[in-house]
Structure 1
Amino acid sequence: MADKTAPDKKRITIRRSQAERSSSTRWRACEATLEGLAEFGHERISTTMIAQKAKISRGALTHQFPTRQELFVAALRHLHEDWERNSPVALPMNHPVVPMSELTQQLWKTMFDDRRYIAAVELMLAARQDNELGRILRAEMARWIKIRDDSLLRLLGHGQGDSSATKLLHLTLSVLRGIAVHRSFDQNDELAPELLSLWVSMLAQGDMKCNSGESYTGVGTHNR
């Protein structure tokens, strides 16, 4: 007797294969977009350049992402989701409290010390525009910032309503962002590690004040 389930199994296999190919194409397109943004900037990059970098046809690219706008937003979401899986943001709810100085080093290693971060900066600049692309990018950035801040403040042992801790976190993120951007055009390869080390040492002084029983409200400031 013929196996009546065989055709169904074949269709399932075909569908799975198509889904896998589609997922692979989207992944390559997003990675190529981030690479191109870091290299050329959001105003100069084209879908033709992205297709070439991704080693896919332009037709395959536009099938997945009909417009450059959709591709940019998908690339930013792709990067954010990577950070959600592979940065301190991914640490579990019950993870022990992490000192700010240690968290800063982890953030640098997993997020800022990555060529793709410059692509994120390019898309941040594009998000300033008062157009559809800017609005969609801002919405994705707001989604990511909430996830990031909630997770990092929890790791630091603070709640969402702790304004001092939030300001210090945002200051640290701004410092790391500045170091990453400066490194993108600076010829001195040793400067970025030196700047990072300097900031971490300043944060470590604040961590020690916290451990001694003083409340830490910022770099170089404290209350008894």
Structure 2
Amino acid sequence: MSQDSDTAGDLQQHLDETLARIESDVTCVVVRSIRDCNFSVSIADPAQPDCPLISVSEGFCELTGYDRETILGQNCRFLNDGCDIQPSDRQGLRVSAKTGKHFCGVLKNLKADGTPFLNLLDMRGLSVGRTKDGEERFFIVGIQADVSEQGSEELPLEHKTQMQYIATLVRDELSSGLQQEAIVTASAGDDVSSDITPYEEPRWIVGEVFETHALGG
């Protein structure tokens, strides 16, 4: 192998490592942004097989009884394992995880100790940039609340509105934390073509999956 080939190989390795670091930096700031949050928040990565959880907040651990080491890397469906979930809700969750479109519904879930509860789930995709193919690079952000005290899957509109307001506050905080990292990442290595072109300000995926049966009033 010639010296030129060795040099080319070393350069390619350097470029690959740089691209991996850029992606890792973006992902890491997403992971760090919610860990200490008192609200129940989870973040999943649809770019990985089966859209696994990559971060959960302290509030999520308190709500569900699960510790991070047990659930990170898993799809969040473990919460409804063995529960009776409406087919329309299952389909809505799949569509939201795949497209990032907004889903909001009340689901029958189980805590780590087997205690059943009604989970008001609000989830939506947060886009941090575009891939070199022009596709949105987004993460799935879920906000959860135990609404078992309602005694029914039917919730008044004002409860839904309040939940969405809390979700907006959390998402605004996440966006603020990601903005600076996106600027720093975008300016790093001007001579390197990254797999991701970060936005200066992350964007929420627009669109609704549908209105579920449990939130009609």
TM-score by shorter chain over 0.5: no
Q: Comparing both structures, which one devotes a greater share of its residues to helix?
A: 1
Q: Comparing both structures, which one devotes a greater share of its residues to strand?
A: 2
What TM-score results when the alignment is normalised by the length of structure 1? 0.30
Highest CA radius of gyration, 1 or 2? 1
What TM-score results when the alignment is normalised by the length of structure 2? 0.30
- Higher relative contact order by CA 8 Å / sep ≥ 6: 1 or 2? 2
